[in-house]
Structure 1
């Protein structure tokens, strides 16, 4: 029997089996006419069978036609299907059916989208689509936890899970796929819809019904993808976890270029790691106890912002040192201060990108960001011909790749010479890219109307995605829809001391449980309890307060216990 005919008979046989409440044991070779006749005789009130992933191995080779995917593709193919036993080495997810496959492109030379779908033996009737990170390029298997989850992985908790590579291959730093238009569109948004539709069809194949609830969970690029599905595909999802979202993707890349120019083109603009650490330590000295606790965490960020002028003044080099090309490890020259102010002030363009976005808000440079991290500023005083994350700084390395591959389509282009303020013939390209790879659209009315939910968590000390850009988008939603309506669908938790996956406080909190409780039972999350998993302070707890509140020490009790803190407004 052909793959196409087997697929058709599978769908009919599956529907018959579930309509008659009998186990699905029909061989594929049954005549389709017989199955159609049997289906017609099934009672309308018949109950469905228990949800189990049936005949897992038989799904291998299944071809889904392009008509099953509500986005332009060349169809999809399940390349492998295997049951993974709960006793398999390293498996913590219980029995599940693991499917891998590809979604074919329309344009010759464009890579396939590779995906993985996992169907648990004890399905809870829900599904989670996992987001990626950086420039993606590696299949997200969906077998691990959602971001910051302290509990078992969603698959182990009965969720069907799936993820993909967004349509190209390589690690998260490789941007050369930007030369291929269809690959760029896939990365920007279309891979999300394509993989969702394929996974949904396969879930229906395995269980005989669609999920009761479909969720999305991701951080950074995956956070952008979470906001993207809300804005572009609101009918497909009931709830989204979108952490540290790269909403203004073009904005952060352009700012990264300008930061690199400040470090390497402006004489004396480079700051050695020792000096960056001194800036961090000075900020901690001034601001740590503004929340009532000397705990190494700057929780009262707004209070610390009022001390910024004093912090900067205390860090300036003396007059006799100010004219030096480079200062010491103890003070900032004017050129070095200008680099930090570029980070703090962000980007304000004389032209608009998509959705009238002309700004990228800056970072909390003098409120506790540690730019000596692996994702921080440059560690090398000399600009490398090919920038790398550590030597050249994450922001500049990613911005350089963006200009080369996405904007100019010239791998030899020197982003150090790119004029962000007056991009000339590249301005239209920047606009187009920002519409393709970005989630700044404020119109989420359809998602609101259908009752979708959203949880976003981000570190106030994030050195990769500015927390102030996330806050600005949130405030824009309030200005557009009103505080009450936004509160009906969204929770924003800004975490003091947390950077982009590291920091002096790394939260572990069950966001998926909070989201599912909100969607399934109407229990809106309020203050959450987070456990710190940073090595030096592992196990201490803090309340995660709904923005704009922050956790303040009550003045008594154990500093390592959340019960000793209260959420207060700044």
Structure 2
């Protein structure tokens, strides 16, 4: 069961309905979000999902009685469930207009995130670089991955970091972001600090001094491992599926009507 949670949902034919490594190895202590402590407990993630499924997932077909257990693990069910991503999700990898306008982007994610798989952010980052070109992306965007950080902070690792100051300095003074010193805080006191470098660079202990002190780490670029983003929804991270929608009374009308998502559903 633990391995299945790591690997993510699949249909009866073994086709992935989630990215590979749906939950990172080492993040198990954060799984109380979706693993109930007792058979009677309804985990928080089920409540989050049901709010979306009842009121947002199916445009013009809200169902206040929909439950997570009503989901079917099929490709057809997957596309029907995520069809609202065509106008709700921010996964278009073509940020050319944002870049031309002088925008700067600092993406960050905790490796122990129990809500959203870090692999999803990596997939989006790679999609940006394929779509816009590596040099263009490097000119306005950076990605940071924080070891042990859970969803937006906390976790059994580097749960505290200032990601706002570096992007402000980039915008206001042109100083490109480099290392960010993250920390572990327990009982109001800092117990560990460590540098986090722009992806794919990682922090490596230099072999001297306290291993809980950021001063004793240097940047290191590991050998690139082949990424496997093959799953049913991989084309969600592409340019061209987005729609614009307008409300007419209680009906949501989207244009263009014939989108990649609706074609895929058929």
TM-score normalised by L of structure 1: 0.35
Judge conservation of contact 1:377–1:394 (CA < 8 Å) in 2.
no
Shift of 1:541: 1.1
| SS in structure 2 at match of 1:380 | coil
Say which of 87, 95, 102 aligns to 1:436.
87
2:150 pairs with 1:496: no
Say which of 347, 368, 379 aligns to 2:26.
368
Q: 1:545 and 1:510 mapped to 2: Cα distance?
A: 13
Alignment of 1:7-406 (within 5 A): 336-337=1-2, 340-341=3-4, 343-346=5-8, 360-363=18-21, 365=23, 367-372=25-30, 374-382=32-40, 391-406=41-56
Q: 2:86 and 2:79 mapped to 1: Cα distance?
A: 13
Unaligned runs of 5+ in 1: 1-335, 351-357, 383-390
Say which of 471, 480, 483 aligns to 2:131.
480
Q: 1:447 and 1:497 mapped to 2: Cα distance?
A: 31
Judge conservation of contact 2:104–2:171 (CA < 8 Å) in 1.
yes
Say which of 49, 57, 66 aligns to 1:413.
66
Say which of 542, 547, 553 aligns to 2:194.
542
Q: 1:379 and 1:494 mapped to 2: Cα distance?
A: 29
- Residue equivalent to 2:172: 520
- Residue equivalent to 2:230: none
Shift of 1:468: 0.6
Of the two, which has the highest radius of gyration? 1
Cα RMSD after superposing both structures: 2.8
Are residues 372 and 518 of structure 1, via their aligned partners in 2, closer, same or farther at CA, if it must alter by over 3 Å?
closer
Are residues 366 and 524 of structure 1, via their aligned partners in 2, closer, same or farther at CA, if it must alter by over 3 Å?
closer
**How big is each residue's C-alpha offset from its partner over 1:26-64, in whole Å with a ceiling of 9 and x where there is no partner?**
xxxxxxxxxxxxxxxxxxxxxxxxxxxxxxxxxxxxxxx
Shift of 1:540: 2.1
TM-score normalised by L of structure 2: 0.70
Higher helix share: 1
Please say which of residues 447-456 and 534-543 is displaced more in the overlay.
534-543
Which runs of structure 1 show a deviation greater than 6 angstroms over 4 or more consecutive aligned residues? none
Shift of 1:422: 5.0
How many residues are aligned here? 215
Q: Which has the higher contact order (CA 8 A, sep 6+)?
A: 2
2:117 pairs with 1:466: yes
Unaligned runs of 5+ in 2: 223-266
Judge conservation of contact 1:455–1:515 (CA < 8 Å) in 2.
yes
Q: 1:459 and 1:532 mapped to 2: Cα distance?
A: 13
